Amino acid sequence: MLHQIKGLHHVTSLASSAQENNAFFTNVLGLRRVKKTVNFDAPDVYHLYYGDEVGTPGTVMTYFPFPRAARGRRGVGEVGTTYFSIPKGTSAAWVERLKTFETPNIATDTRFGAARVLFDGPDGDRFALVESDDTRAPWTGNGVGADMAIRGFQGADIRLRDAGATAELLRFMGYQEVDKAGAVTRFAMPGGNGADVIDVETLHAVNPASQGAGSVHHIAFAVENRARQLEVREALKDTGWQVTPVIDRDYFWAIYFRTPGGVLFEVATNEPGFDRDEDTAHLGQALKLPSQHEHLRARLEKLLEPITD
Ligand code: ZN
C-alpha cells in the first residue's frame, strides 16, 4: 500500500464560456483565480485555475472552457459531484447566496452525518458544499467572508457500474474504507491535506457518461514532490497500471492513468506551485503561457475569449 498520496491535488472539468465560468467561481463561490493559462496540449483553449490564496493543493478547481461546447451526459465512469468544505452552520447562508445568483438546482441534504448544499455550476456541473470542521485558511478576497468561505475540496464522488477494481485501487493508493450508505462507499485518506474523501457510488442500471461541458475531465491526487511521485509511478507500474511518463505542467509535475471504471486519475506534485511565475499578490491576472507556446502569444491573445473580472 502506498503512503505518498495526501488527498486530492486538483479537479479538472470542461466548460463552455470562460467568462461565465470565471464569474461563477470567483463572484459566486468566492474562490481566487490563481492561474490563467492555456491547455498545454491544445493551447487555443484556456486552462483556468481557482483555489485559495496561493492555489494550495487540495483547493484547486480547474477548467478547460471550449466556447459553444455541448453539455456532457451524466452517467457511470465519471466523477459525479465535486465536494467543497464549508464551516459548520453555514448551509442556510450558502443557500441564500446561491439563490441570489440564480444558481440552478439548489437542494440540501445530509450525508454521512454532514449537512450539504447541492447545486449546479454554469454548465450543469454538480457540486456539494459540505459542512465540516476544516481548519484550512480560506481565500476571502472576493467578498465571501471567513465565517462562511470555502476551505478547499472535501473530496469527490466517483460513479461506477462495478466498483470492485476501483475500490481495490483506492486501497492501494492509501485510502481506507470508512463508511457505507446504500450504494455509496466512503473512502478517506488518513493524514491527508483536507481534501481527503472519495465516495464510490455503484449504479448498475445507468449508462456510461459522455464527456462535454460540465463533465469532470480528471481528478488529480497530491504528492509532496517529484521523488514521491516517482515512487508512486513505479509502484503503479509494478502493479500492472499503464502510467504516462512524468509531464511538466509548469506549476506541478503530472502522471496520468485510466482507472478500470473509466475515470482518468492524475498524480501531481505539490511543487513548484502557482507562484513560480507570478508573485502572490497578482496570481491569476496575466495570461501565462508555457515556454513551448510563448511564440503563439499574439495569436492566442486575439483568439481566446476575453475574461473580465
Ligand atoms: Zn490535472
Model confidence at 119, pLDDT cuts 50, 70, 90, reads very high
Q: What is the C-alpha separation between 195 and 56, in angstroms, rounded? A: 11
The string of DSSP letters for 103-149 reads: -SS-EEEEETTEEEEEEE-TTS-EEEEEE----SPPP-TTS--TTT-
Give a yes or no: residue 308 inside a domain.
Answer: no
* Domain at 188, CATH number: 3.10.180.10
For 49, counting Cβ atoms within 10 Å of its Cβ (0-12 exposed, 13-18 middle, 19+ buried), the class is buried
pLDDT at position 103, please? Answer: 98
Give a yes or no: residue 214 inside a domain.
Answer: yes
Model confidence at 309, pLDDT cuts 50, 70, 90, reads confident
* Residues 67-88, mean pLDDT to the nearest whole number: 97
Give a yes or no: residue 130 inside a domain.
Answer: yes
C-alpha 309 – ligand 1 centre gap (Å)? 24
Give a yes or no: residue 41 inside a domain.
Answer: yes
pTM: 0.98
C-alpha 100 – ligand 1 centre gap (Å)? 32
C-alpha 263 – ligand 1 centre gap (Å)? 13
C-alpha 56 – ligand 1 centre gap (Å)? 14
Q: What is the C-alpha separation between 273 and 293, in angstroms, rounded? A: 20
Q: Which domain holds residue 191?
A: 8-303
Q: Quick: pLDDT tens for 126-156.
A: 999 999 999 999 999 998 999 999 999 999 9
Q: Quick: pLDDT tens for 182-196.
A: 999 999 999 999 999
pLDDT at position 276, please? Answer: 96
C-alpha 93 – ligand 1 centre gap (Å)? 31
C-alpha 235 – ligand 1 centre gap (Å)? 20
Q: Quick: pLDDT tens for 6-30.
A: 999 999 999 999 999 999 999 999 9
Rounded to the nearest integer, the mean pLDDT of the chain is 97
Cβ-proximal residues to 74 (8 Å cutoff; 6+ apart), any chain? 80, 126, 209
Give a yes or no: residue 1 inside a domain.
Answer: no
Residue type, 278: E
Give a yes or no: residue 37 inside a domain.
Answer: yes
pLDDT at position 215, please? Answer: 98
Q: How many domains does the chain have?
A: 1
